[in-house]
Amino acid sequence: MAETLALPVDRVELAGDLVLPAGAEGLVVFVHGSGSSRFSPRNRRVAAVLNDATLGTLLLDLLTPDEEAVDERTRRLRFDIPMLSQRVIRIIDWLATDGRFTGLRIGCFGASTGAAAALIAAAQRPALVHAVVSRGGRPDLADEQLAGVRAPTLLIVGGADDVVLELNRSALRALRCEKRLDVVPEATHLFEERGALDRVAKLAQEWFSRYLSSD
């Protein structure tokens, strides 16, 4: 069962759904993409696979309900990468100081534009973020911050997602950390094809299990 948390970020509180299996050594913070939320069915499917592998997960809302209402009209906040990345950083800082999470290694799973926010957070908190996975992400939006990422980073892209695939290939060259690009054959941007999202979940689980373990 997930526990819904109220996460203090600057002058607002953001909602997050936490699942922390017994014996977990790692906690993966999910950073959703534009127009999505912590209820993203794709992210929840990936999170369930991580939970089955004894990895904790925290699925976030990066906007408050009031901000979401404004964003539905303006579509501006969902693309405000500096603001979103700062919120991810604040949440990572909070996790690092809350006694319930002592000893847990933190990873970030970013989808679409959320991947840029996750990578910026990793660059800004190299001692706290131990692994990053991007699903159909826009790492190019992290721009010059890519070179500062130290956490091992896995970029997962659909083979039929042509534009995003090229952006990820370019970002891979800019990263200076341990890195890998995995292409899911024939998958499109949302990995809606049969078996595609299962492949994403398996790749993410293997990456996080490897780098968030204390062994």
- Location of structure tokens 């054959």: 185
List the chain domain ranges.
3-211
CATH superfamily for 3-211 is Alpha/Beta hydrolase fold, catalytic domain (3.40.50.1820)
Closest CA to 113 of 91, 68, 148, 81: 81
Give pTM, 2 decimals.
Answer: 0.95
pLDDT at 35 over 80: no
Give the pLDDT confidence of 137-179 residue by residue, as tens digits.
Answer: 999 999 999 999 999 999 999 999 999 999 999 999 999 999 9
For 113, the token pair is 């534009």
What angle in degrees, to the nearest 10, is found between the helix axes of 41-52 and 196-211?
A: 50
pLDDT at 201 over 90: yes
Confidence band (pLDDT; 50, 70, 90) for 215?
Answer: low
- CA separation for the pair 166, 21 (Å, rounded): 37
